[in-house]
Amino acid sequence: MNSLIRTSDSPNHRAFPSGTQDLAYALLKSDLVAFVLVDAGNIVAASPALREMLGGTTRYQHIDGRSLLSIVAEVDAPAVAEYCSTTLRAGGRTEQRCHLMRADGTPVPVLLASAPLPNESAHQLLIVVTDLSPWVGDAAAGDTAQFFAAFDRVTGFPTRALLLDRMKIALAAARRYRRRAALLRIDLERLKSLLQSLSPEAADEVQTTVAETLRNCVRDCDTTARLGSAEFAVLLPEIGQREDAGITAARIVQAIEALFERNDARQRVSAHIGVAVYPTDGTNPERLLHAGEAAVRNARSTRGGGFALAEATSAELTAIKPLEFLERYKVGIPEIDAEHRNLVDRMNALAHDLKSGQDPTTLEYDVRAMVELLRTHFANEASLLAPLPYDGTMDTRARNLRFLEELHCILLHVNSQSIALAIRHLYDFLIPHLLHLDQRTLS
């Protein structure tokens, strides 16, 4: 991108965007995280945390309007220019390691994570800047080996130190906005012995494939880290319900199982995952890691892979209040209203049996029967009710199918926790589903 090579003598300083850019503006005011907004290669605005990272001397007193490359180490400038250009063309969220120059002239190793902002009149990137210097070698001494040690050589995943830094940021945001976050500790059984039996080239190929599989199971905003040869972690910085983290864990278990299903039994890798949720299982990175590790030990009791929830989150799953079929849930079609009432009654029966300690095998049978009942119910709704207007996210049919797929993932590896998770997921889905339907009109 040629515009990135402009010098500060000819800045292209534009006003900060508004409307859909309000979130970006809030981030740029943050004193916790270093952010910078770049427009056509020049810095439009920078957060206080970034200014503090670079130093508050005269050199960077007026950082706005400068070329982005003017604060990048000269050796890294071509790579950063190409990185910004590629991000603008391809979209999505990408990362780049480089050095920024402090006001005193010393380089600081950083990780740039960028995403383009929608703006018709400009080419804008919002970039979060993570300072890697606390856990890497002396950048001024050119300790490149230690710098790149913040990332795994083969997978490119962050290592433990960088994961901890991202957890601090994510938990600070979760605390401020009163939302949940989660950490998954992943142990890939037999992966280490498999890698040792292969040539270096073949081992790298297996690790790369595993990394790609893990990436495909999570969102762009999540962080996947490598903690050891067969140990990984996934940070989910924002989740809606407790079971969202369990569903992600179930998907990973299923994906790893499918990846190695053709291997000989002695080389068939399986995933055991421990799930810890903020703030229930811990309020800082160390406690969440510890809770996740304890949950992994429980998950290992499941043959062929599986997941387990940390104790506090597991206990929360049974805190289910009885549901009532209210007048506002009725849609005016006797067949659909009868099905809704039946679903509420079935849900209450499942919740009662779960709290009373019913045998998991019996509960599994009842949950699967409930799933089939829902499948028939969704089909009846589609034929008898007019579709809702498009709400900009996901239509009702797609939402229902995704819900059934999530239940399928949970029930692939059955234990007492997965059954409790499935029942809780049914409970959390049912009332919003009924409320959603009162907006429909008859077909």
List strand residue ranges (DSSP E) for 196-354, in order: 223-226, 231-239, 270-278, 306-309
Q: What is the DSSP letter of 15?
A: P
Task: Tell me the C-alpha distance between 43 and 431, whole Å.
Answer: 47
Distance between CA atoms of 336 and 323, rounded to whole angstroms?
A: 18
In the numeric block, which tokens belong to residue 177?
């906005």
Half-sphere exposure of 90 (CA within 13 A, CB side): 11
- Interhelix angle 160-177/285-299, rounded to 10 degrees, is 110
Cα–Cα distance, 145 to 260 (Å, whole number): 33
- Cα R_g (the chain), whole angstroms: 25
Query: Which helix H or strand E contains 46, and what residues bound it?
Result: strand 42-46
pLDDT in tens, the chain (443 residues): 333 333 333 334 344 444 445 555 555 555 667 888 888 888 888 888 888 888 754 445 567 788 899 899 888 888 898 888 888 877 666 688 888 988 888 888 888 988 887 765 557 888 889 887 766 554 444 454 454 567 888 888 998 888 998 999 899 999 988 999 999 999 999 999 999 999 988 999 999 999 999 999 999 889 999 999 999 999 999 998 888 999 999 999 999 999 998 877 778 899 999 999 999 999 999 999 999 999 999 898 877 789 999 998 888 888 888 888 888 888 888 998 999 999 999 999 999 999 998 898 999 999 999 999 999 999 998 888 766 555 545 577 888 888 999 999 888 888 888 899 999 999 999 888 887 654 444 33
Task: Tell me the C-alpha distance between 275 and 241, whole Å.
Answer: 13
Angstrom distance (rounded) from CA 407 to CA 423? 9
Q: Which helix (H) or strand (E) holds 82?
A: helix 77-90
C-alpha closest to that of 364 among 402, 317, 308, 408: 408
Q: Answer whether the bond into residue 11 is a cis peptide, omega within 30°.
A: no
- Counting beta carbons within 10 angstroms of the beta carbon of residue 245, is it exposed (0 to 12), middle (13 to 18) or buried (19 or more)? buried
pLDDT score at 136: 59
What is the maximal distance between C-alpha atoms in the chain?
77
CA 265, 271, 272, 274: dihedral to nearest 10 degrees? 180
Q: What domains are defined for the chain?
A: 2-148 (3.30.450.20), 160-316 (3.30.70.270), 327-437 (1.20.120.50)
- In angstroms, the CA 155 to CA 168 distance is 23
Of the chain, the end-to-end C-alpha distance in Å amounts to: 53
Helix, strand, coil tally for the chain in percent (to 5): 50, 20, 30
Alpha-carbon span 85 to 91, nearest angstrom? 10
Closest by CA to 400, choosing from 429, 420, 363, 361, is: 429
Beta bridge partners of 232: 186, 226
The confidence score (pLDDT) of residue 256 equals 95
| H or E element, residue 37 | strand 34-39
Q: Say what the pTM is.
A: 0.68
What φ, ψ does residue 30 adopt, rounded to 5°? -70, 135
